[in-house]
Amino acid sequence: MTALVQAWYHGTDRNSAVKVQINPERCQGHGRCYDLAPGLFGDDDEGYGMVLGDGTVPPGKENDARLAALNCPERAIELLEEV
């Protein structure tokens, strides 16, 4: 079970940051993301997952993001980590 992890470069000198995004072509509305990490994900009118805000994961919530990504049956959640 793996999550897609990509390098994320934002072109500044800020400390490492993690962003999440949902691939809308994969999401089938299973809802595990917003059940497991309600601070990072919400649902739209049809129950499909959506990231809150711009998807930036607040410090200390990285594990919630990973948990959601690992538990999405469709592998629709992508973690983009600055390296």
**What is the smallest separation between the CB atom of 68 and ligand F3S, expressed in angstroms?**
7
**What is the smallest separation between the CB atom of 58 and ligand F3S, expressed in angstroms?**
19
67 interacts with ligand F3S by CB under 6 A: no
Q: Dihedral (C-alpha) 19, 62, 79, 65: value to the nearest 10 degrees?
A: -110
In whole angstroms, give the CA distance from residue 33 to residue 36.
5
> Closest-CB residue for ligand F3S?
49
Maximal CA-CA distance, the chain: 39
Per CB under 6 A, contacts with ligand F3S among 23-52 are: 27-33, 48-49
